[in-house]
Structure formats: structure tokens, C-alpha cells
Structure 1
Amino acid sequence: MNKNSKVLALKYRPQTFEDLIGQNIVSETIINSIKVDKVPNAYLFTGIRGIGKTTIARIVAKSLNCLNGIQNLCKEKLCENCEAISNSSHIDVLEMDAASKTGVDDVRDLIEFSKYGPTLSKYKIFIIDEVHMLSKQAFNALLKTLEEPPEYLKFIFATTEIKKIPITVVSRCQRFDLSRIKSSELFEFIKKIKDKEGGNANDEALKLIVKISEGSVRDALSLLDRALLSVEKKNELDLNTTQKIFGYFDKSQLINLFNLILEGNENKVIEEYRKIYDQGVDPKVFINDFLEIIYYFKNINSLTLESTNFSLNDDEFKKIKKISDNVNSEILILFWQFAIKTLGELEIVSNQHLSIEMFLLRLIHLKGITPKNDYKDSKVYEKGKNKETDSNILNKIINKETINQIKNVTQEKKIKPGRQIEPKASVETDIESFQQLIEICSTKKEMKLKYELEKNVNLVKFENGRIEISFNDSLDKDFVKNLSAKLLEWTNQRWIISFSKRQGEMSIKDKEQNKKRNLIHDAKSSQLYKEIIDLFSDAELIDVKNKDKTDTTND
């Protein structure tokens, strides 16, 4: 294959320790161990994707088997061994993907193959990628050979899930934890690659690519490849274009939105958010970026521009610092809590866009949002009255039971003056208990409602104008709407029906069944039952009824 036709992640894959970025300590340790001939039986490389685990494994294999020795490792003109290892075709260097060969039989074949010495080089080397995918039996089969292999045999393991590898295996390896690549280092690296490829992209676009890659070199090169292919060479790849390509938006928009929330400007908040939404931003990406901005507002005084990993530019950093001077920390913590809750809501709502808008409106209306300078004048903090601290507000809002309740939308509709619908009932009915409600359903021939109340509803709390319930999975989806309408019709007042996470009382039907089981149990303990069973051994007691006290019929 023509090298120029390769994707950037393969084309610029490091071939020597000098080519590696961000793993200097690991490189130096391995080189020194080879120089003094203290090569471990097995290497174990662990870390996130795309930071060089498999690449380092191949470089180690080349370092051990290079015909020129460790002091004169091949760099440009490769020897036969280094060339073959680079192409994954060396007879003494076997690469195995544990994701596809996980069984004990595969490992036994490996061990059997290891009995024969190397053919063309000093060491026979087994490179096992994603080694955590091996089965428990496969690991057990490998243990003895791993601890005392022949002098010519070396193992190199790579994994992203170190915790899934048995400790007995880890303890037999020399472990190296590869770190994420620093943002500044990765930025300089992809900038050089961009120049080599003749790409036309400004620094802000490259910084966004670095941010999205989260310290992974492979991800950064793949994103750069995609970005450069998305624009013609005569056009410069700028930040705005890069944001559109990867579905990200300008952080300054989010900072402006945040400021509008603090000002309490509903219309402008929704207008600003819809501009962001129209750019094709995923709601989850929006919330995660919003959380990131909250973090910066909360901790801006302890951060430097470099520590934000290119998430902010100079102007954005200064703007956040200026706004944060007038925002209390407890408010930001409150924002964080609501943002986390909204992430959960996105999993259950069909229109996530509407959920985000309601989230932003809730932030505006949170009680206690006042700038630091206005605290003494705030009603919430006014001296001599019922004072509440920020932490109290936080606990009150987060723990408020109404957060865990679901109200039917029809209960919240406002009826315009002069157009109020008159209830159908001509005579108001007082309903003072749950049992009375069931009886009225029976009287009014509302058998479906009666059935739902008895079978699928557990009462938590009943008071005038309000019913709090829990329910099972069989509850009709229109139950709340139908019951609300009937209660309005019968009592000439609106009732609030709310759902609670508390279990509540046992349903009417369950109570009846429980009572029936107790009666049958008591009856089976009676002497009469025992006498009947003695006479009719196959008899079965299926029901018990209490005899009417007024019944004078002879037995």
C-alpha cells in the first residue's frame, strides 16, 4: 500500500522510542533495562485507548531483536528483523488479539509453540493485545510459563482494563501505566503532522481537536484526518468550521447563556439556547459542556489558562473570572446538581430539546439566586427574619418531595377569566377518605376508576384536594386525567393527584386477598377442618365466609 494513502494514525505511527510522545519515563526505563541486560519475563502496558500500548510493544520487540543492538537501534534504514516486526510478519514475534482468541486452547497452542527456540533472532516474543479478554482458565494455563519462561521467551501484554487481569498475572509482569498525553504536547504534535500533510488549519481548530481527543494520540490524528478532508486545501480550517464538523459549539455562547441565566432573562436565555441547538448540538453534549462551564465558574481562581486543556481562550477565561466574582459558590453547586439530574431526565424524555429548555428555566427560578453584593438586601438573607443559608436552600430544593412527584399536565392548566368551565355536577359531594372515593365511584357507575383504585393504587396520603399515591405497572395511563376530571365534576374543586416513590398502603384487592389467606389459615387450624380431612383426604379449602350473626338457621 502506498504510504500516502494510509490514514494519519497509521502513517505516523511511532517506529522508535524517539518518535513516542508523552511516555518519556517508560521509554527510558525500558531502554536502560535492555542495556544492562535485565529484561523482565513479561511487560504489561496499561492505559486509555490510543496512547501507544501496542506501538510500544512493537518497539520493545524491535529493541530486543534489532540486528544492530540496543546501542545502534534502527531509525531510518531498518534491518531485516525491524522491518519484519514493523510489518507484523516476523517469524519469532507473534502478535495475538485476545479479543478473538480468548480460550484456554489458544493459550495451550501458544505454550506449545514456545517450547521451540527463536529462528532468526535472539528472542521469541509473544505480544498479546487486550489481554484482559482471556478467560480465567486461559490465564491459569499461562501462569507457570509466565513465571519461569525459557531465557529466549518474552511476553508483552497490552490492556485498557487492568482491573480485569488476575493479580497473579499482574504480579509476574513488569507493569507500566501509560499516561494521557498532555494537551500542549499533543497540540504541538498534530500541528507538525498538519504541516507535513500540507493542511490549512489554524491553532484554534487544532486546539478543539486536542480537547475532543481527551489525550489520545490516535483519536487526535483520526479527528485531524477527518477535519482536513472536510475542507478544500485552499480554505482554512477555522474554529467555527471545526465545531460544525464535530458537533461542538463556541464556549463564548455558553458563557453568555450562563450570564443571562444569572440575570434572570427568560426570553434571551431561550433565544440563545435555540441558536446553539440550531447548530446541531446534541443535548447530552450541551449538558456536559454546561457542567464544564459550572466547574470553571466555581474554581476559576485556582485555575490557569493552561490547566483548562484548551477548553477556554484568553477572552473566555477573563470573562468567567469577572462574572464569577459576583456569583456565590453555593448557587454554582446548586446548578451542578440540577444539571446532573437533567442528564438522567434525558434518558426518559422523547424530546430532549424541550427538557433542556425547561432545565434552563428552572435555573432562572431557583430560590436564592442573588449576586454576592446583593446578599444583605436579599429577602432570603435579611437579618431579623427567618434566615436561610445557601446550604439550607440547596438541601430544601434538592430534597423537596415534589421533585420526586409527577403531576398531570391537565392539573396545571390555567383557565382564563370569563371562560371557566362550570362543573357538571349540580350538587357538590364531599369526599373525605379514600374508601369514600371508591364508594362514590361505585355509586356513579365509574367501574373502571373503581377497579384501578382497588387493584393498582397504593394510598400514601389523602387530604382535602390532594391525593398522593404509588402504583404498579398495570395502572392505566389515563388514570390521573380521568380521576381528576371526575373529582372536579363531583366536588366542584380541582384536586392534585401526585405520584410518590414511597410504597404506601397495600391496595384494596391485596388487603382482601391477605384477609382471605388469614381466614383460610385460621380455618385449617380448627378441629372441624381436621375432621373433614380425615373423612375426605382429597378435599381442598378454597374460601371461608363469616357466618351472619343474625342467621338463626339450624346447622
Structure 2
Amino acid sequence: MSESPQPYRVLARKYRPQNFSELIGQDAMVTTLGNAIKRDRLAHAFLLTGVRGVGKTSTARLIAKALNCIGPDGQGGPTIAPCGVCEPCVAIAEGRHIDVVEMDAASHTGVDDVREIIEAVRYAAVSARYKVYIIDEVHMLSKNAFNALLKTLEEPPAHVKFLFATTEVNKVPVTVLSRCQRFDLRRIPAEKLAAHFGNVATAEGVQAEPEALALIARAAEGSARDGLSILDQAIAHADMEGSHGVKAAQVREMLGLSDRGAIRRLFGDLLTGDAQTVLRGLRDQHDLGVDPVAILRALLETVHGVTLAKVGSSDDPALSNEEREALADWAGRLSFAALHRLWQLLLKGHDEVVRASMPIEAAEMALLRVIHAAQLPDPGDLIRKLSSGEGVALSSPSAPASAPTHETVQQRFPESFPAMIDLLANGGKAHVAQQLHDYIGLIRYAPPALDIRPAKPMPSEFNRDLGAALKALTGETWEIASPDGPAEPTLLEQDQAREMAARDAILATPIVKAAFDAFPEAELLEYKAAVRG
């Protein structure tokens, strides 16, 4: 009778570290722990923190092994290099050791769950040197559960060790943190992840392009587990496509990343100011299924890459030789000021696209803004020209007397936000003026720029209509925005606050106060401030 095939194990589980030498990117923690074991200075509680997938739970199991390993001959003691073959090592690796208890705090949050641990720690370990409690996502415990654990955590029996793991250490009470030896597990560098994924691919008998591994490492964002899950998917994708090995192009398609060549062309068109070509390139990528946010992110990565190339520190392993040459060329032609402007414009566009209800349209407007800004003079050059007297006068001796000058243009702007509202009210835009007065808080008034914050939901076209009304009255194009930031109260709220202050002042006068003391049920219905002559 043939044996049934073994069920498939995902790579993230199959290649979980079985000893500290396989734990990548955490050398400082391993060294500290090894020294503590050698000198017999072991803490009674350890807290392991870090982003998802860096090896917190795996490290906790390795520590449990290290504390309970007895060696192949059964005579060994605690060691930073557990043998992996003795009964405690094997049982802990398989998750069946009776003295190593794992608990997920996300599903056992209450005080009753912790009380079971408190009761059990009084009894000695059954077969191991130490009874070990591994509590994952410990920050999910309730406040009462933490409080119940504190006394035991501070003075546990000598045979008990606590190992806590969490991704959100800021949610763990300080009283608990102070009773633990803390290890911050670092994000794993992309180059180490790529090398690790290459070893895994080789062990699986799969060929993988170095660029594909670098792309997976970058997408993993420092998490070995996330990267192995992506690699698992990439291998399956390659099998379905009938290709030999994992290709970079397939990984890009699988992750929904923009084609790097298309992004380079789009970036080049942005620099030349070819609006039609830029919009066509953006739409082509969108039609291929690439998210507009991903396109803006890729353009930001390009600007970042050019800037790093300009300072001489571009060493991204995911870059091809062609990309390196392109970045070096742009770095030689673009100033730092231009790169910083590009970064700010694209970053603003990226944030707008993330929040937009129409992402592709928002992306188009963002890229057109980049092109428009690229055609404006450099602020530094403009200041130098103005300082030297160049380009200040907008009229010449032969110009008609009515030609607008810089001064007359400036005089068209109202001197304040309330004055601007009065201008709108007197200029036939009473409805817009009323909305501004009642529902809009001011962030910044710097004509022709205006930053405002609605106090209640406003029509989506409100900023556009306001800009059109102001242009009709001042003759200038206004830039209306609603950025994040503190705003003044609306003018209506300010009027109401002044009214309330005046009312309180009247109520505080001795004669009125005496009247209300005599007649508690009285009300102040109407009042008028006295005019002193």
C-alpha cells in the first residue's frame, strides 16, 4: 500500500529558523543572548518587539530551545547553539512540548486566561529545565489581564520564563515593560532578504533571477515571512506560466508594479514638459491595470534614485545597468533644487491620488501640475532678477497709461480674509460670501493663495467656484487648497463668540447680577450696550 503524499507546507513555515545561525538580520540580539546564557545571567521575562515577520515568535521558540536543550548525550546545559536532536529540542520545534506553552493573546485577552497561567506557574516543569510561556501579540491583553500578571511577572518561580512578542510595544503597559528584558528585532535589510530568498529558491530547485529576488525583498519591507509568501506565490505563478524559474517581469506583473522602462519614459517626458505624451503614457499604464498610486510611487522612487545618484550613494540591488545609467544621466543634468521641487510636487500628487474618488483623473492633474511648475522660473533666479531690477516693471514707456503694473495688480487683492468676503458680497457673489462667512475656517490668506478648512461638508466644486468668483473680481488666478493643519474659527463662530462675551459681560455687571439674584427665573432676552458720551 503506497503512502499518502505529505501535505504541502508553505515556504514561510518550511524555512522557519531552527537555530540562531539561521535567524537572519538579528546578530546583536543573538550576541547579547549568548553572553547572558554563558554568564548565567538570564532574565525571567523577555519582550521581543518588531514589525511583522522579522522572527519574533521564531526567536521565542529558539530561546525556549536554548534554555531547555540537554544535548545529544542528555548531559548538556543551556546553550546559544541548541543541538536540535534531543527530545526537548525536537518537541519544542514540533510544538508539542508540555512545558513550553504558547498562547495567542489576540484570542485570549481576558483575565481568566492569565489566571490559568498564574495558577500553573506554581508547579514545577514536568520534564524540561524551565517551564516557558510564549505569549504572542501580548499588547492585546486587557488592562485587567496585565494587572493580574504583574505580581507573577515580577517574582516568578525560578523554573519559569516568560517570552512576550508584540508588534505594538507602545500598547504594552510601562509596568510590564519595566519587568522584562527587551529585544528590538530589526527590519531585515533588503540585500540579506534577497540572499535568503535565493538560498530558499535553490533549495526548492527553482531558478530565480537576481532582479526578481531583489523586487521580492523590496516588497517584503523587512519581513522574512512576507517575502517568503511572495516567493511562494511567484514560484506558483512561474509554474502556471510554464516558464523556467522566477522572472523579474512576472514578479512585477504579480505585484502590480509599473514597468520600469515605462516609468523612465514617463519621467523623461515630465522633464521635457510634453503634456500630451505624459497623459498618454499615464493612460497606457492605467489601461494595463497599474494603479495610479503605484505610478506616482514609482515616479517618487525615480526622483529619490536620481537624488541618491547625485550624491553618489545609489546602490539599490534591484536596479539594472540600464536604470543606473539613466539615473546617472539625470543626476548630471538636474540640480538639487529641481529634484527637491519634483519630490514635493509628486509627493503632494501622490497624497491627492490616495484620497481621490477619481484616482486616474487626480493623477493626470498632478502630473500636469509638475509640467506647469517645471516651466516656471527657479525661485532663486527670480529673486536675483528682482533684486537686480530685471523684469520688475511690467510696462514700458510706450505702453498705454492704463496698462496694469505690479502695484496696480497687488491693489486688486483685498487686505484680509473678511475684506475678501465683503468683496464677494458686494460683487454679486452673495451666496459664496455667506458660505465663506458661516462655514469656512481660514488656514492661510496670502493672495492669490488661499488655504481654508470647511467646518462642515461642502460641495465638491466649492473651491473651484470660489476660485472662479475671485478671478472674476480681481483679475488674477487664485490657488484654493484645503490642506491639513489648524484653522481659525469661522467668522460666524467668531461673531457668536463676541456676542457671548458681550452677554457674559452684561450678566457680570453688579446691577444685572443683583436683579438675577432677586429674580432667579428671569431671562436676558435683549440688550444693548450703553454709549457713553
**Taking structure 1 as the reference length, what is the TM-score of the superposition?**
0.72
Give 1:135-150 correspondences, 5 Å limit: 135-150=142-157
Give 1:262-341 correspondences, 5 Å limit: 262-305=271-314, 307-308=315-316, 310-341=317-348
210, 225, 229: which one aligns with 2:232: 225
Q: 1:439 to 1:474 in 2, by over 3 A?
A: farther
Structure 2 residue identity aligned to 1:185? K
CA offset digits 1:2-44 (Å, max 9, x no partner): 6551111111112222332223343344344334443321222
Partners of 2:215 and 2:129 lie apart in 1 by 45
125, 128, 152: which one aligns with 1:118: 125
Do the aligned partners of 2:46 and 2:181 also contact (CA within 8 Å) in 1? yes
- In the alignment, structure 1 residue 506 sits paired with structure 2 residue 510: no
Partners of 2:179 and 2:170 lie apart in 1 by 15
Give 1:160-309 correspondences, 5 Å limit: 160-232=167-239, 234-236=242-244, 237-305=246-314, 307-308=315-316
Structure 1 residue identity aligned to 2:257? Y
Partners of 1:483 and 1:288 lie apart in 2 by 31
Instruction: Tell me the residue number matched to 2:68.
Output: 65
CA shift, 1:186, in A, is 1.8
Partners of 1:269 and 1:527 lie apart in 2 by 74
Instruction: Tell me the residue number matched to 1:23.
Output: 26
Structure 1 residue identity aligned to 2:525? I
Do the aligned partners of 1:524 and 1:530 also contact (CA within 8 Å) in 2? no
Structure 1 residue identity aligned to 2:18? Q
Do the aligned partners of 1:22 and 1:185 also contact (CA within 8 Å) in 2? yes
CA shift, 1:256, in A, is 2.8
Q: 1:320 to 1:533 in 2, by over 3 A?
A: closer
Q: 1:523 to 1:500 in 2, by over 3 A?
A: farther
CA offset digits 1:510-533 (Å, max 9, x no partner): 859977996898699798999999
362, 366, 373: which one aligns with 2:369: 362
Aligned-pair Cα RMSD in Å: 4.6
Instruction: Tell me the residue number matched to 2:525.
Output: 542
Give 1:514-529 correspondences, 5 Å limit: none
Partners of 1:197 and 1:60 lie apart in 2 by 28
- In the alignment, structure 1 residue 129 sits paired with structure 2 residue 136: yes
Q: 1:271 to 1:385 in 2, by over 3 A?
A: farther
Count matched residues.
Answer: 486
- In the alignment, structure 1 residue 50 sits paired with structure 2 residue 53: yes
CA shift, 1:198, in A, is 2.8
- In the alignment, structure 1 residue 473 sits paired with structure 2 residue 456: yes
CA shift, 1:469, in A, is 8.9
Partners of 2:115 and 2:15 lie apart in 1 by 36
CA shift, 1:544, in A, is 6.2
CA offset digits 1:56-91 (Å, max 9, x no partner): 11122122222323578434xx33322321222211
CA offset digits 1:347-373 (Å, max 9, x no partner): 4421111111211121122157689xx
Q: 1:4 to 1:259 in 2, by over 3 A?
A: same
Instruction: Tell me the residue number matched to 1:414.
Output: none
Q: 1:330 to 1:111 in 2, by over 3 A?
A: same
Partners of 1:171 and 1:453 lie apart in 2 by 53
Do the aligned partners of 1:94 and 1:127 also contact (CA within 8 Å) in 2? yes
Partners of 1:67 and 1:351 lie apart in 2 by 63
CA shift, 1:433, in A, is 9.6
**Taking structure 2 as the reference length, what is the TM-score of the superposition?**
0.75
Structure 1: give runs of 5+ residues left out of the alignment: 389-431, 547-555
- Name the SS for the 2:239 alignment partner: coil
- In the alignment, structure 1 residue 38 sits paired with structure 2 residue 41: yes
Q: 1:92 to 1:336 in 2, by over 3 A?
A: same
Q: Percent identity of the aligned residues?
A: 35
- Name the SS for the 1:232 alignment partner: helix
CA shift, 1:453, in A, is 7.9
Structure 2 residue identity aligned to 1:362? R
Q: 1:225 to 1:513 in 2, by over 3 A?
A: closer
Q: 1:382 to 1:89 in 2, by over 3 A?
A: same
CA offset digits 1:93-112 (Å, max 9, x no partner): 11111222233333232121
Partners of 2:171 and 2:513 lie apart in 1 by 61
CA offset digits 1:235-269 (Å, max 9, x no partner): 13321121111111233432332222222222222
Partners of 1:383 and 1:545 lie apart in 2 by 54
- Greater Cα offset, 451-460 or 157-166: 451-460
CA shift, 1:324, in A, is 1.0
